[in-house]
Structure 1
Amino acid sequence: MQYSITLPTNFETCDIQTLLEIKWLVPRKVRHFLRTKKNILVNGQTLLFHEMVHAGDVITLTFEESDYPNYNVLKGNGYDLEVLFEDEHLIIVDKPIKMKTHPNEAAEDDTLLNHVASYLTPQGVLPYVVHRLDMETSGLIMFAKNPFILPIIGRMLEEKNIKRSYHALIKGQLTKDYLTVNKKIGRDRHDRRKRRIDERSGKTAITHFATIDSNQQSSLLRCELETGRTHQIRVHLQSLGHPIIGDPLYNPKSRGERLMLHAFALHFTHPLTDQEIHCQSNTSGFSLKSFHNK
């Protein structure tokens, strides 16, 4: 596979070694082959790794199959896939409820990853999981279209440079219209499917909540993730005494035909093109009015 990347206007001048190792996180083995096989060009020319690259330079990378070996994934049905954004490196799709993000077993072929793989078959590329949504949660998920960009996007997630926004319908009202929850989350020792607040040995988890609409029975919230722990929004809201309506794990007695949690927006700066990406789901998920009119 070959990619030509034009360094953006705000690119800070550095040498090729720094570009590959520090900025693009290219593994050492792959960097070695790029250098020895002269599979990296700058404006069409071969340069030494200590030479400098600047904004506007065109970097052409040629990767061989041995650099990033393909993996196996069964093809699903890509015809009904709702694609919100796609370029040479990334694809963002809208996941329906009751669908897994990826298989847990090799024989599975009805997860979102399988369907994205089917959609990408004509392009000759495979999708790589960037982040996940619970099976019961609908909304936007991003996949990498090549292993080169995968660690770059992973670092952006770790450094909180990808903003993910959710809508959640909860029982009752929060004490404030704007509320931040900073409570560590760990595994539930009594139920392997669940997570719980664990300030002693859990991992840091921070969620920002804003009330969009409310009535006496429930509230519609906008939820912003600062970290990405499993079931983070669900566990934080349960800890406040306001579990998500329809949550089969953390609010099993609630009325609701589905988990009322929808990933409706993604916002980030593309790490290779410097393009500002704003993606919003075409499906609103649900509203306070529509829920109570059922």
Structure 2
Amino acid sequence: METIEIIVDEQDNERVDAFLASELDDVSRSYIKKLIKKDLVRVNDKKVKPKYIVSQGDIIVVQLPEPKKLEIKPEDIPIEIVYEDEDVAVVNKPQGMVVHPAPGHHSGTLVNALLYHLDSLSSINGIIRPGIVHRIDKDTSGLLMIAKNNNAHNKLSEQLKEHTITRRYYALVKGNIKEDSGTVNAPVGRHPVDRKKMAVTNKNSKNAVTHFTVLERFGDYSLIEAKLETGRTHQIRVHMKYIKHPIVGDPVYGSKNQKFKLNGQLLHAKVIGFNHPRTDEYMEFDSELPEHFQRVLNVLEKDRAK
């Protein structure tokens, strides 16, 4: 059983179950409630209820049971492997594919495909996330680094922490951005009301910086390149909504009016660059925009030419 201690550093009038759901990665609020009922969450060494309001200085101790061992099976799912050697691989994830299994969703993921197509994967992130150093959302397409051994995993993770990984995304956003380029420097954390969403907030948030450049304008739409300085959950999607230019097709942060009949946001991880974990040589990879993204650009190009 893993024990985690968290000290509340500010007064925010938040329930303990909501607070912990925002503090702990991949742990839902409903699961936190179950832990509280089992007396596996204590505040100041006292048993509490989920509705307990945390206060500045509270010491919260959470005991997380060992996860049930899941059998993640290799699956012959076609994936585009852009590069591979004995230490790393770079894959181009399609839109609609989940990166790794989760409770209740054990198949059809990128990890299932990697287990079939690659001869080895790092084990640092456990049975559910072998080889996974970083993630992109299910409906975001594009390039991901994969670690094939633990040494490579550690080296790539360190580069992520130091913000030395090159990550450039293409996105089609709503509205005509007047500036040719800009920077959004706004902290991102769990949405204060809807815990499934992220938001720009000063409460329980982390520093987040996105640089963007306008590549092309299509009247009511702008094609941008976004460069991540930090890598928070949903960062580009949240930041573009924050500056009132949400990503087209985004079902969570975008407009409910769907003009192009999309299945998700037009956001593509186009370029990734890193120092090779064994040779320290800088490597950079580029990918074409996927068909569904290019189709919309073609429509906008034709409309502009009329």
The alpha-carbon distance between structure 1 residues 214 and 155, as it changes in their structure 2 partners (threshold 3 A), is same
3-state DSSP of counterpart to 2:90: strand
Letter in 2 for 1:86: E
> In structure 2, the residue corresponding to 1:134 is in which secondary structure?
coil
* SS class of match (2:154): helix
Correspondence for 2:88: 90
Distance 1:142 1:72 in 2: 23
RMSD of Structure 2 on Structure 1 (CA):
2.1
CA contact (8 A) 1:74 1:107 kept: no
Give the counterpart letter for 2:142 in structure 1.
G
Instruction: Report the AA paired with residue 75 of structure 1.
Output: P
Preserved contact between residue 140 and residue 265 of structure 1 (Cα < 8 Å)? yes
Tell me the TM-score normalized by structure 1.
0.70
| Stretch moving more, 140-149 or 206-215 | 140-149
> Is the contact made by 2:87 and 2:277 (CA closer than 8 Å) also made in structure 1?
no
How far apart in 2 are the matches of 1:107 and 1:168? 28
Match of 1:246 in 2: 249
* Aligned residue number for residue 269 of structure 1: 275
Deviation at 1:142, TM superposition (A): 1.1
Deviations 1:249-275 (A, max 9, x none): 011414231311000110122132122
Alignment match of 2:107 (pick from 106, 109, 117): 109
Partner of 1:24: none
TM-score normalised to the size of structure 2?
0.68
Q: How many angstroms apart in 2 are the aligned matches of 1:163 and 1:72? A: 34
Distance in 2, Cα, partners of 1:77 & 1:88 = 21
**Alpha-carbon distance in 1 for matches of 2:249, 2:282:** 34
Matches of 1:237 and 1:77, distance apart in 2: 36
Deviation for aligned residue 1:291: 4.1
1:166 paired residue number: 169
Corresponding position of 1:60: none
Alignment of 1:86-235 (within 5 A): 86-105=84-103, 108-120=106-118, 123-125=119-121, 127-235=130-238
Q: Post-superposition shift, 1:184?
A: 0.1
Shift of 1:124: 4.9
> CA, structure 1 residues 130+170, in 2 after alignment: closer, same or farther (shift >3 Å)?
same
Distance 1:177 1:107 in 2: 42
TM-superposed CA distance for 1:290, in Å, is 1.4
Partner Cα distance (2:255, 2:243) in 1: 16
Aligned partner of 2:127 in structure 1 is none
Aligned partners of 1:116, 1:239: CA distance in 2, in Å?
35
Give the percent of matched residue pairs that are identical in Structure 1 and Structure 2. 37
Conservation of the 8 A alpha-carbon contact between 2:82 and 2:92: yes
What per-residue deviation string (whole Å, max 9, x for no partner) do you get for residues 194-246 of structure 1?
10011243100000000000022100000000000000000000000110010
Letter in 1 for 2:272: L
1:278 CA drift (Å): 1.3
**Contact 1:264–1:281 (CA under 8 A) maintained in structure 2:** yes
Partner of 1:290: 298
What is the match of residue 76 of structure 2? 77
State the alpha-carbon separation in 1 of the partners of residues 287 and 145 from structure 2. Answer: 12
After TM superposition, the structure 1 stretch with the greater mean CA deviation from structure 2, 172-181 or 251-260, is 251-260
Asked if the contact 1:247–1:254 (Cα under 8 Å) also holds between the matched residues in 2, the reply is: no
Deviation at 1:141, TM superposition (A): 1.0
| Closer/same/farther in 2, CA of residues 270 and 92 from structure 1, 3 Å limit | same
- Equivalent-residue separation in structure 2 for 1:210 and 1:86 (angstroms): 31
Q: 1:125 to 1:253 in 2, by over 3 A?
A: closer
Aligned in 2, Cα 1:124/1:131: closer, same or farther, shift over 3 Å? closer
Q: Distance in 1 between matches of 2:242 and 2:289?
A: 28
Q: Quick one: which amino acid aligns to residue 113 of structure 1?
A: V
Which residue does the alignment assign to 2:57?
none
Q: Rate the CA distance shift 1:277–1:124 in 2: closer, same or farther, 3 A.
A: closer
> Distance in 2 between the 1:177 and 1:83 partners?
34
SS in 2 for 1:128: coil
